Amino acid sequence: MSEPDDRTHEELAPVPEDTAETPDTTEREPDEPEARAEPQEPDDPDEESTAPAKELPPEVRALCRSAIEAMLFSSPEPVSTRRLAEPLSGLGIDARGVRRIVRDLVKEYAAARRGFAIEEVAGGFRMATHPEYADYVGQLLGGGGGGRLSQAALETLAVVAYKQPVTRADIEAIRGVQAGPLLRSLLHKGLVRITGRAELIGRPLLYGTTRAFLKHFGLKSLNELPKVEELPKP
């Protein structure tokens, strides 16, 4: 992978066309795809509705409740209330009713101190082990370190998250070290994506976070990132 052209503006000054060719300083990532829209879950039309959810007969609600639990348990990805409602449409429940049941389940699990919980992340809901019992799960799975990020990767990811869209040069300026290998690793893990090119000399690539980033850190959206001033001082 070619490195970004770091020559000065004077060195890049245009020369007469009859004496030299204009150098091609465009940054390239031969192993990575160009920017493309990341698939997103459609917005839930009932998310902001103030209309009350339809009341269901107790036996129907109990069936929906169990079905929702089963779907959340079996899905490897967060599922929106709209998608959860689709298989249950014949029972007369909509997305508002699904959300109401999910919220009741969240409260029930918390009150019973269950070893698992329902989290709202990346535009949907998922079932996950309770953070309080992470050490036990990690020991059972042999430490669970395979998916952990190094401190350097976390620092690079933090810069991307808070500064996006951001160029590699900007990341390196903030961290003071080369970011190329770490960015390739984060791209491979799906936590970072190429969002476009900056309108700068060399047209450097721009990087941003992905939906997988939100899932990895249990965030509903980037708005849930802590404020910079709230972060602990190094």
- pLDDT tens-digit profile of 171-199? 999 888 888 888 988 988 889 999 988 88
In the block, tokens 């052209």 appear at 5
CATH number for the region 151-230 comes to: 1.10.10.10
CATH 1.10.10.10 for domain 58-140: yes
Tell me the average pLDDT of the chain.
77
Domain boundaries, the chain: 58-140, 151-230
Q: Shortest CA distance to 43 belongs to which of 76, 94, 9, 80?
A: 80
3-state helix, strand, coil in the chain (%, to 5): 40, 10, 45
Q: Check the CA dihedral 31-218-211-106 and report its sign.
A: positive
- pLDDT tens-digit profile of 39-83? 444 444 444 444 555 678 888 889 999 999 999 998 888 899 999
pTM of the shown model: 0.51
Say whether 222 sits in a helix, a strand or coil: helix
Q: Which residues contact 161 (CB under 8 A, 6 or more apart)?
A: 209, 213, 222, 225
Query: Would you state the pLDDT for residue 41?
Result: 43
Distance, in Å, from the CA atom of 90 to the CA atom of 135, rounded to the nearest integer, reads: 42
Q: Which residues contact 136 (CB under 8 A, 6 or more apart)?
A: none
- Asked whether the domain spanning 151-230 has the same topology as the one spanning 58-140, the reply is yes
Distance, in Å, from the CA atom of 62 to the CA atom of 69, rounded to the nearest integer, reads: 11
- pLDDT tens-digit profile of 217-234? 888 888 888 887 666 665
